[in-house]
């Protein structure tokens, strides 16, 4: 089983009740269970984490870099302004797939910029929870 870290940024722990018209009604716990199932079905071992703390997310990215583990990340609002998250992503040498539940470029203008995309292997947005499944599938295609 290949390890993959699935890192989720701020407010994603509120899925289910947070703007369901944008993010759907699946709770964060249900999303985690789905990601876990999808990963197992693809022969991946997913370590799924969420934080509201930028420093904690940077620490996880440093660890992922040290372990050369692939990362699927939904940076949430950090996507749009955190150069510190971007710089931490730039340290990674294994694939990094950026995911979003919604399609940020179809939303408010401040969401049209991702400071992370330029250092990601690729980005998958707009498919709800299935964005994570697509990212896991994409990752399998990138593995040696
Ligand atoms: C998000 C999109 C971001 O703009 C927003 O700040 C989020 C969630 C998404 O998954 O659609 O928190 O990353």
Ligand 1 closest atom vs CA 131:
10
In a domain, 38, yes or no: yes
| pLDDT above 90 (res 93) | yes
Give the Cα separation of 31 and 28 in Å (integer). 5
In a domain, 117, yes or no: no
Ligand 1 closest atom vs CA 9:
12
**Domain with 27 in it: what CATH number?**
3.40.50.9100
pLDDT tens column, 5-51: 999 999 999 999 999 999 999 999 999 999 999 999 999 999 999 99
pLDDT tens column, 116-133: 999 999 999 999 999 999
In a domain, 50, yes or no: yes
Q: Which domain holds residue 17?
A: 2-58+76-104+128-142
Q: What is 66-110 written as a DSSP string?
A: HHT--EEEE-GGGGGT-HHHHHHHHH--S-EEEEESS-GGGS-GG
Provide mean pLDDT across the span 82-96.
98
- Rounded to 5 degrees, φ, ψ at 126 are 95, 5
The count of structural domains within the chain is: 1
Measuring from each residue's beta carbon to the nearest atom of ligand 1, which residues come in under 6 Å?
11, 74, 76-77, 79, 100-102, 104, 111
Q: Calculate how far, in angstroms, residue 100's C-alpha sits from the geometric centre of ligand 1.
A: 6
Output the average pLDDT for the chain: 97
- What pLDDT is stored for residue 1 in this prediction? 87
């Amino acid at each position: 089983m290949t390890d993959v870290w699935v890192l989720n940024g701020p407010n994603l722990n509120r899925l289910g009740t947070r703007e369901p018209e944008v993010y759907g009604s699946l709770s964060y716990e249900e999303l985690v269970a789905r990601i876990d199932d999808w990963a197992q079905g693809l022969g991946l071992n997913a370590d799924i984490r969420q934080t509201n703390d930028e420093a904690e997310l940077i620490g996880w990215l440093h660890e992922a870099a040290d372990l050369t583990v692939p990362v699927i990340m939904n940076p949430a609002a950090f996507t749009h302004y955190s150069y510190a998250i971007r710089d931490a992503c730039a340290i990674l040498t294994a694939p990094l797939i950026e995911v979003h539940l919604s399609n940020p470029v179809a939303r408010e203008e401040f969401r049209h910029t991702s400071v992370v995309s330029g250092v990601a292997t690729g980005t998958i947005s707009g498919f709800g929870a299935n964005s994570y499944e697509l990212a896991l599938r994409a990752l399998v295609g990138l593995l040696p």
